Structure 1
Amino acid sequence: MPRHTLLVHAHPRTDSLTAQVTDLLHARLKDGGSTVDVLDLYAEGFDPVLRPADEPDWENREKSYSPEVHAHMDRILAADDIVVVFPVWWMAPPAVLKGWIDRVWNYGFAYGRSKPRLGGKRMLWLALMGNTEAEIEQLGLSAVLDLQLRVAVSRFCGIEDSSVAIVHGTELSGVPRALRPQRVRELLKSAEESLNGALPR
């Protein structure tokens, strides 16, 4: 049975490696028979600032949040799989992605119920990092991202089938220009392998 994927993209530049990875995964998912809803947080002008209308009300899990947030909630509920593609800046996801979590993955919707609404979904957090794999492990960044995203967001919200994958070595400034196209192909292949491993068809 075909699955529906929410593919979240969090990078401001349309020519970035993150955008290329998102485009590749979009094509890969469609080729695999999935329907895909591409949520480009920057292109859609998502406001990451949490304001009173979207602040959780711990005494009312049925609270009505802003129309924008409810529209995003509907897109999440409609998905069987959620794939989030983002760069790592300052050892963390971009502010627009953190704001999407703060505003949309809200009390009464994503958590705060005895039967999680998001249980049964699959999720992949795909992070692009300039550091080498050795540098990432030495700094402990893979463990940090896993705790922040797989444990504190996905699992907390009832998504047990979740993983964090890192495409490392994405900084191209140190790669000779003649070799950059090949390096980009290698990085895209790594991203596709991460998708195949997390969301097998």
Structure 2
Amino acid sequence: MPSTTSKNVLLVHAHPEPTSATRHLVQVAIHTMEAQGHTVTQSDLYGIGWKAVFDQDDFLIRANPERLAFIDESGHAYATGSQTPDVEREQAKLAAADAVILLFPLWWFGMPAIMKGWIDRVWAFGLAYGYQGAGNTYRYGEGGLAGKRAMLAVTVGGPAIDYGPRGINGPLEQLLFPITHGSLFFPGMQVLPTFAVYDAVRIDAGRMALIESDWQTRLQDLFDSAPIAFRTQNGGDYPDRHVLADDVVPGVFGLDAHIKA
């Protein structure tokens, strides 16, 4: 049964067209989650004119004015409360969220630049990496965002067959691995399987109704369904915190080795 406990859900979305399939998924998500009693917060990245470029303007008080070292400056800004106001607002939303849903169109096999820029700027050193000043001790299953759930909702222009196990574009979850495993699981979030809408530029009313129904079902199970079984760094599979142990799925290489069967 879906969870009945009220939660906070952050919807971060990136599409400039109000009538797009992505924005339609946003509206369905708002209505579905609020009907369950959850509190929904949005970050409409195009709507707020989010600054996508991570650069020197993100650091109001420089630790080193002579050389721009992003890790050092990010950590200094986060630790001293000298981040830019827009970043602090997004981090406050993130801190309050029990679940984060990123909704975006698949552009050149990844997220739009504006959403990548949201992660670049909001995922500060000391929060999403370098947690507790302990380097890479707390990552891949642990870290500043541990305890939160995350999910991608992706609209794809091409047909599903192109993204099948032997499809010409490659399996969608593998294409999104840098986001699900890297951007989300790295700082500790539990990541659910991606909700994908294929042929997003050719959706008639009948298929949209089916998409809405499937999306509502996924949202209703947001806090109960099993996350992707990524291997945790500190769970014993990586004795040196870098490479899988020889006795863990021997003979399996690449992305699949980092997911439990």
Contact 2:11/2:100 (8 A) holds in 1: yes
Contact 2:156/2:197 (8 A) holds in 1: yes
Q: Which residue of 2 aligns with 1:181?
A: 205
Kindly name which structure, 1 or 2, has the bigger radius of gyration based on alpha carbons: 2
Q: Which amino acid aligns with 1:56?
A: I
> Does residue 120 of structure 1 match 2:147?
yes
TM-score (norm: length of structure 2): 0.68
Contact 2:106/2:156 (8 A) holds in 1: yes
Sequence identity, in percent? 28
Count how many residue pairs are aligned between Structure 1 and Structure 2: 195
> Does residue 156 of structure 1 match 2:186?
yes
Contact 1:85/1:126 (8 A) holds in 2: yes
Deviation at 1:169, TM superposition (A): 2.3
In the TM superposition, 1:4-153 aligns within 5 A as: 4-54=8-58, 55-57=70-72, 60=76, 62=79, 64-114=82-132, 116-137=143-164, 138=167, 139-153=169-183
Task: Report the CA distance shift for 1:200/1:32 in structure 2 as closer, same or farther (over 3 A).
Answer: farther
Contact 1:170/1:187 (8 A) holds in 2: no
Task: Report the CA distance shift for 1:181/1:161 in structure 2 as closer, same or farther (over 3 A).
Answer: closer
Measure the CA separation in 2 of the matches of 1:143 and 1:24.
23
Q: Alignment partner of 1:85: what SS?
A: strand
Would you identify which runs of 4 or more consecutive aligned residues in structure 1 move more than 6 Å? Answer: none
> Which deviations, in whole Å up to 9, do the C-alpha atoms of 1:130-153 show, x marking residues without a partner?
222211121214133431111011
Q: Which amino acid aligns with 2:176?
A: D
Q: Which residue of 2 aligns with 1:3?
A: 7
Measure the CA separation in 2 of the matches of 1:57 and 1:73.
19
Measure the CA separation in 2 of the matches of 1:36 and 1:2.
10
Farther-moved stretch of structure 1 (66-75 vs 53-62)? 53-62
Q: Alignment partner of 1:12: what SS?
A: coil
Question: Where is the helix percentage greater, Structure 1 or Structure 2?
Answer: 1
* Structure 1 residue runs without a partner (length 5+): none
Farther-moved stretch of structure 1 (8-17 vs 110-119)? 110-119
Greater relative contact order (Cα < 8 A, sep 6+)? 1
Q: Alignment partner of 1:46: what SS?
A: coil
Farther-moved stretch of structure 1 (159-168 vs 85-94)? 159-168
Contact 2:110/2:176 (8 A) holds in 1: no
Measure the CA separation in 2 of the matches of 1:198 and 1:133.
23
> Does residue 167 of structure 1 match 2:206?
no
> Which deviations, in whole Å up to 9, do the C-alpha atoms of 1:137-174 show, x marking residues without a partner?
212141334311110111111113443232222121xx
Q: Alignment partner of 1:56: what SS?
A: helix
Contact 1:124/1:195 (8 A) holds in 2: no
Deviation at 1:197, TM superposition (A): 4.4
Contact 1:149/1:164 (8 A) holds in 2: no
Contact 2:28/2:212 (8 A) holds in 1: yes
* Structure 2 residue runs without a partner (length 5+): 59-69, 133-137, 226-261
Task: Report the CA distance shift for 1:27/1:99 in structure 2 as closer, same or farther (over 3 A).
Answer: same
Question: Where is the strand percentage greater, Structure 1 or Structure 2?
Answer: 1
TM-score (norm: length of structure 1): 0.87
Measure the CA separation in 2 of the matches of 1:132 and 1:196.
26
